[in-house]
Amino acid sequence: MSSRRFMINSRSIRNGYASFDGELFNHIVRVLRLSPGDPVTLVDEKGCEHTGLIDQVAKEWVAVKITQTNLGQTDDGISTRITICQALPKGEKIDLILQKGTELGAHDFWLFGGRRSIARVREDQRDGKLERWNRIVAEAARQCGRRIVPSVSWYPTAVEASDSVTHDLRLILWEGEREQRLRDVLTGISPPGSVIVAIGPEGGFDPLEARHFARHGFQAISLGSRILRTETAAIAILAILQYICDDI
């Protein structure tokens, strides 16, 4: 039998066993109907890969006996770390961005409340939202076979997001930019070690936000004559950057 692959937290492993309940238990036991003796592969947030066999199945938890652990690749084999700095869009668009962005190799996601964002996150909603968003990227990483799960962070405003930047190359997709394309910025330079791309919500960036990003070294670029939806822009820029950086 082939080994099923699951994303876990390293804290669930103790003394050669991994145990868990909740959604992962439900998926393993009630959906996949795995039982004692079945092989599984567990990948933690550090990229370590643990192979083992299901040892016990209780009413609400399952235990796996670890037989081998391989240390993870810290960068998932990706040469350039790409951060998507995304203003929160409305509805379920952020789910698509996180899912497809993970599949395309995003290193992490910085979500923030844009001045023109329709969707809002209240303080009392923040932890629940972050938990849900991180579940989405963990599941996407499991399905596409990534060993490293991208992290998801939240910033209330564009100011707080841009103040945290340390990346080598900083880009902002700005509909007001008419001349400079991505290829203009990347021509003649070696692939950077890290890139961050700021993307606005449905209504685009407020000019004050664009100026603030510019003060923090972000270069405004255009993706062409067409104005892309915010979720399309995130997917398109990731695919382009991965191709340029030889990761696709």
Q: What is the CATH number of the domain that holds 196?
A: 3.40.1280.10
Q: Which residue has the higher pLDDT, 104 or 23?
A: 104
Final residue of a structural domain among 70, 104, 127 = 70
Co-location of 34 and 103 in the same domain: no
Residue range 100-119: mean pLDDT, rounded: 93
Q: What is the mean pLDDT of residues 74-94?
A: 83
Q: Which residue has the higher pLDDT, 225 or 74?
A: 225
Which structural domain, as residue segments, surrounds residue 54? Answer: 4-70
Number of domains in the chain: 2
pLDDT in tens, 160-182: 998 889 999 999 998 777 778 88
CB within 8 A of 24, min separation 6: which ones?
6, 8, 62
CATH of the domain at 63: 2.40.240.20
pTM here is 0.75
Region 47-53: mean pLDDT is: 86
Q: Is residue 99 part of a domain?
A: yes
Asked if the model's pLDDT at residue 23 lies above 90, the reply is no
On average, the pLDDT of the chain sits at 87
Taking each helix axis from N to C end, the angle separating 230-244 and 93-103, rounded to the nearest 10 degrees, works out to: 10
Does residue 173 sit within a domain? Answer: yes
Structure confidence at residue 9 (pLDDT): 81
- Which residue, 230, 214, 231, is CA-closest to 180? 214
**244 has pLDDT over 60:** yes
Residue 76: inside a domain: no
Residue 84 pLDDT exceeds 90: yes
pLDDT beyond 60 at 154: yes
